[in-house]
Amino acid sequence: MQARAQAAGVTLRAPPPEPTTCCGRGCNGCVWDGFYAAADWWMEDAQEALAAAKAGASPEAQRR
């Protein structure tokens, strides 16, 4: 996704960092659950930015 954005001239915010505190016990509310949710949101945001660049508008302009 970063390479596609760079090729399109779009600057993306950094993706969420992978967690480093997982205990590996399959906890309810594991840090990985939060990571995957944040990564999904980041991916959606990145796809919107790329679509806006392709359409010739900024993502903020499309949201209005």
What is the CA angle 58-16-19, rounded to 5? 175
At 2, is the pLDDT very low, low, confident or very high (cuts 50, 70, 90)?
A: confident
The reported pTM is: 0.73
Query: Could you give the CA distance from residue 20 to residue 9 in angstroms, rounded to a whole number?
Result: 32
Query: Could you give the CA distance from residue 48 to residue 60 in angstroms, rounded to a whole number?
Result: 10
What is the CA angle 1-54-37, rounded to 5? 35
Question: Residue 64's pLDDT is what?
Answer: 44
Question: Residue 1's pLDDT is what?
Answer: 85
Residue 51 DSSP label: H
For residue range 7-43, what is the model confidence (pLDDT) as tens digits?
A: 888 989 999 999 999 999 999 999 999 999 999 999 9
